[in-house]
Structure 1
């Protein structure tokens, strides 16, 4: 019901996730990002708690992605129903697909990225994502979305896609990108792409407004002078 990619930009150090699903509001349950730490996608029969658990293990420095993933899954009796991908702040990766994952499922690690999915039209959907990410140019968001579009071009999910999300962290402690299409009858990924292109020119301005309001530009809204 879901396909996703987690990735890191070696130039900016940004970490992020792009994800889509046939289920409603995939962005509320599946993508987990933490500045300077890592990104985790928890999917299939989703256990949202795995995201924070794995990020906590990475943050305290006691685990690399593979060990953090194994530890978190080992503490849960239903791990064979989960599909999880992890990338840390150094670009190291790990992934897991339990034997109870739904339909056709697959996962592939690439250079500073991991793509995974379940209920797929075919394994080629995931195999298309990694080269698309690696060969794309632009920001991390642009590269993550390029991978998602490559997945759709390769067949996408076995059924219709209804929700999509894009989450990215950079230097601030909060996500600098947190965009969601919680439900759409048609083309939620296209809607997410349009959201990103509308938000991209303003992204740094919102960071500036948070860190130094006196340097922030005005958007001409009531009370914003």
Structure 2
């Protein structure tokens, strides 16, 4: 039903996540990122609160592995959850409960966790991690390379309908927050198209927020 990648960029310290699912608006429920703190994915039979709790634990100074262990020891119904976590040192943790749906797998790499459930094949998750680790380009390019590789390796058991790409860096809001909340076919491909549109404007929108006197004009009615 869902596959994802959450990672810390070793060069910038940014955190990012890509995710896709057969259900609508998957990024709204499953993506949890906090600049300077970490990234968490909460998926399968999703409880979004768990992502927030994992990040709160990281913010208190707990490492990823200990934060995951603490949550699993205190939360009910964890047998239904699939969780990924990356901290600000690049530490990782992953968990799939006994009631995780269908074929499922998690893979931990340096500063990254790939995870999926109800997959066409467990190797989908390995393809995500391998492509992310070897792809060139910006952080978002590499995250998307992982998601596209997961799609091309077989993806979910059924069709995907939504996808998201989110990155947080040195400000409190997401510097990239792109979503395809429902399409009949290939939300990952459509998400990649939206990134191509956003990529050359990303820095300009950040400048508008933090240094408006240097912001570029977009040439639209009413623009500065």
TM-score range, shorter chain: over 0.9
Asked whether 1:140 is paired with 2:122, we answer no
Tell me which stretches of 4 or more aligned residues in structure 1 moved more than 3 Å: none
SS at match of 1:134: helix
Cα deviation digits, residues 31-80 of structure 1 (max 9, x gap):
0100000010100000000111111110111x111111122233221000
Q: Could you tell me which residue of structure 1 aligns to residue 205 of structure 2?
A: 206
Q: Could you tell me which residue of structure 2 aligns to residue 37 of structure 1?
A: 37
Alignment RMSD (CA, Å):
0.8
Distance 2:66 2:188 in 1: 32
SS at match of 1:49: helix
Structure 1 position 146, deviation (Å): 0.3
Asked whether 1:76 is paired with 2:75, we answer yes
Q: How does 1:56-75 map to 2 (within 5 A)?
A: 56-61=56-61, 63-75=62-74
Distance 1:75 1:4 in 2: 25
SS at match of 1:16: strand
Distance 1:76 1:57 in 2: 13
TM-score, normalised via structure 2 length: 0.98
Distance 1:93 1:87 in 2: 5
Q: Could you tell me which residue of structure 2 aligns to residue 171 of structure 1?
A: 170
Structure 1 position 121, deviation (Å): 0.4
Asked whether 1:8 is paired with 2:8, we answer yes
TM-score, normalised via structure 1 length: 0.98
Distance 2:29 2:74 in 1: 19
Structure 1 portions without partners, runs of 5+: none
SS at match of 2:103: coil
SS at match of 2:193: helix
SS at match of 1:158: coil
Give aligned pairs, total: 224
